[in-house]
Amino acid sequence: MADYRIFHSPRLSGEVDVSTAKNAVLPILAAGLLTQEPLIVKDVPRITDVDILLQILRDCGAQVERSGRDVSVCAQHPGSPDNETMIRKLRASVLVLGPILARSGSACVFLPGGCAIGQRPIDLHVKGLQTMGAMVHAKGGQRQLSGKLIGDRVYLDLPSVGATENLMMAATLARGQTILENAAKEPEIVDLADCLNAMGARVAGAGTGTVVVDGVETLHGAVHKPIPDRIEAGTLLCAAAITQGSILIRKARPEHMRAMMFKLKEAGVGIRETPAGIRISGTAISPFEARTLAYPGFPTDMQAPMMVVALKCHGTSILAETVFENRFMHATELCRLGAHIRIENHFALIEGGHSLVGATVTSTDLRAGAALMLAGLICEGETILQDPSGHIERGYQDLPQKLRSLGARIEER
C-alpha cells in the first residue's frame, strides 16, 4: 500500500527486463486445478494479484508452493473456495469456476464483485457452462453449478478474455467436442492453450475467433513458462516516449504489441525491433487517435498510459474507450496536474502541449496508477501519488524500481 514521491525526471535511458505477464499467469495457475499432478509455472511475478490467487487456490484445497521464481500447484481433490473476502478482492478469482466444475462435477463461486472500471459481470462464463450442461442456481451472492460437462457449440456475445479462458479450461475435461465461437484472441489465450496442451489437453484454434477443444479423460502435470507482459512493456515504452528517452525493453515480444507500437510511431516516436527486445527513442509530438478494442486492437489496459503520451503531443488527441464503461477516472487526476482533458461519453479529448505541475493525485485502478506515475515524471516539481489500495503493486512487479533503474526519480514512502 505504498505512496510515491515522483520528481521531474531526466530522459530515461538504459535497458530493462519485462516481467512475466500477469494476465497469462493468473489463468495458468488456475489451470493447475485441472489435474492431480503438479503444474509448475516458471518465473511467476511477485505481485499482489498472484498472492491473492494463490491464497484462493489453497482455499480450493490445492497445495501451492513457491520455490524461488517458480510456483507449483497440485490439486488432488479440488473443491470450491469459501473465503468470500479473498474472492471479492480479485476479478480473476472467477477463473477457478470452470476447472473445479470440470474436475469435480460441482462448483460454487461468490460473484467476484464490480470494479472501479466497470460492472464486469460473469454472465458469459455462466451461460457458456450452462450450454455445456451445467445446472445453475443462485444462492446468497453465490452461483452454484453442477453436472457433468458435455461438449457443445458455445457462442460468446462478446470476445471476453476471462470467459474464453474459463470455458476453454472446462472444455478440456468435458465429454466430446466444444467449439467456442467469437472467442477472445489475446496472446494470453494462446499461452493458456499451450499450457493446457502441455498437460495433455487437445485445444486447437487458440488465437483465432474459433477455439475447438476435444475433451480428454484426465490431464497430467507439466512445466510451463508464460509469456512476457505486453502491458508492462507498453507502459515502459510510454515512459520513454514522454521523457524523450532511449531505452531497450528486453524480452518484450513485438508481435504481441503491434497496435501500441503503431500508435507510438504515429505520435512520432522511433521504435525498433531487435533480437534483444524493443528499442525506443525520441519523443511523442504528433497528436493521434486510438480506440480500445479486443485483441489485436488497441488494448484497453494501455489507454491510461497512452493518455499521458497524448499530454506531450501538440494538438488534440482522441482516445475512445469501448471495452469498459468507466475507465477514464485517471483523466480527473491528470487534470489536477494541469492536463487539459475533456471526457464526452466514451471519448477523451486530450489537448496536449500544456506544462504540467506536480500535485497530489490518487490511483483509482491498476493502469490509472501506472499512468499517474508516468505523468509525475514530466511534471514540474514534486508529485505525490497516493495508492491506498496498492493498485500498482497488484499488477506491476517493481515498476518504480524499473523506472528508477532507467533514471526516473521516484521514491516510495
Active-site residues, by number, are: 115
> Rounded to the nearest whole angstrom, what is the least distance from the CB of residue 323 to ligand UD1 in the complex?
5
Q: Which is nearer to ligand UD1, 50 or 308 (CB)?
A: 50
Cα angle 303, 351, 379 (rounded to 5 degrees) comes to 80
For residues 149 and 175, the answer to whether their CB atoms sit within 8 Å is yes
Closest CA to 267 of 311, 322, 299: 311
For residues 90 and 112, the answer to whether their CB atoms sit within 8 Å is yes
Strand ranges (E), 292-363: 315-320, 340-344, 347-352, 356-357, 360-362
Distance from chain centroid for Cα 69: 20
> Rounded to the nearest whole angstrom, what is the least distance from the CB of residue 124 to ligand UD1 in the complex?
3
The residue number with the shortest CB distance to ligand UD1 is 162
Q: Which cell goes with 221?
A: 502435470
Residue window 313-352: x/- pattern of binding to ligand UD1, with contact defined by CB under 6 A: ----------xx----------------------------
Q: Which is nearer to ligand UD1, 121 or 315 (CB)?
A: 121
Q: Which is nearer to ligand UD1, 91 or 279 (CB)?
A: 91
Q: Taking each helix axis from N to C terminus, what angle separates 258-266 and 303-312, rounded to the nearest 10 degrees?
A: 10
> Rounded to the nearest whole angstrom, what is the least distance from the CB of residue 380 to ligand UD1 in the complex?
32
Main-chain dihedrals φ then ψ at residue 34, nearest 5 degrees? -85, -10
Q: Which is nearer to ligand UD1, 186 or 244 (CB)?
A: 186
Radius of gyration of the chain from its Cα atoms, rounded to whole angstroms: 21
> Rounded to the nearest whole angstrom, what is the least distance from the CB of residue 145 to ligand UD1 in the complex?
14
Q: Which range of residues in 153-161, 246-254, 272-280, 344-352 is near ligand UD1 by CB under 6 A?
A: 153-161
> Rounded to the nearest whole angstrom, what is the least distance from the CB of residue 123 to ligand UD1 in the complex?
5
Q: Which range of residues in 130-138, 161-169, 258-266, 267-275 is near ligand UD1 by CB under 6 A?
A: 161-169
Q: Which is nearer to ligand UD1, 245 or 299 (CB)?
A: 299
State which amino acid sits at residue 157: D
For residues 305 and 276, the answer to whether their CB atoms sit within 8 Å is no
Q: Which of residues 22-51 bind ligand UD1 (CB under 6 A)?
A: 23, 26
Residue window 86-125: x/- pattern of binding to ligand UD1, with contact defined by CB under 6 A: -----xx-------------------------xxxxxxxx
> Rounded to the nearest whole angstrom, what is the least distance from the CB of residue 15 to ligand UD1 in the complex?
26
Q: Which is nearer to ligand UD1, 158 or 276 (CB)?
A: 158
Among 80, 160, 178, 363, which residue interacts with ligand UD1 (rule: CB under 6 A)?
A: 160
Q: Which range of residues in 12-20, 29-37, 157-165, 346-354 is near ligand UD1 by CB under 6 A?
A: 157-165
Of all residues in the chain, what percent are helix, strand and coil, respectively (each to 5)? 35, 30, 35
CA dist 242 and 76 (Å) reads 50
Q: Which is nearer to ligand UD1, 92 or 371 (CB)?
A: 92
Main-chain dihedrals φ then ψ at residue 12, nearest 5 degrees? -75, 140
Among 1, 138, 158, 223, which residue interacts with ligand UD1 (rule: CB under 6 A)?
A: 158
CA dist 24 and 233 (Å) reads 14
Q: Which is nearer to ligand UD1, 301 or 333 (CB)?
A: 301
* 300 contacts ligand UD1 (rule: CB under 6 A): yes
* 138 contacts ligand UD1 (rule: CB under 6 A): no
Total of residues contacting ligand UD1 (CB under 6 A): 23
* 301 contacts ligand UD1 (rule: CB under 6 A): yes
* 17: three-class secondary structure by DSSP: strand
CA dist 212 and 168 (Å) reads 9
For residues 370 and 336, the answer to whether their CB atoms sit within 8 Å is no
Indicate the helix (H) or strand (E) that contains 336: helix 329-336
CA dist 274 and 286 (Å) reads 25
> Rounded to the nearest whole angstrom, what is the least distance from the CB of residue 10 to ligand UD1 in the complex?
31
For residues 218 and 8, the answer to whether their CB atoms sit within 8 Å is no
Q: Which residues bind ligand UD1 (CB under 6 A)?
A: 23, 26, 91-92, 118-125, 158, 160-163, 184, 188, 300-301, 323-324
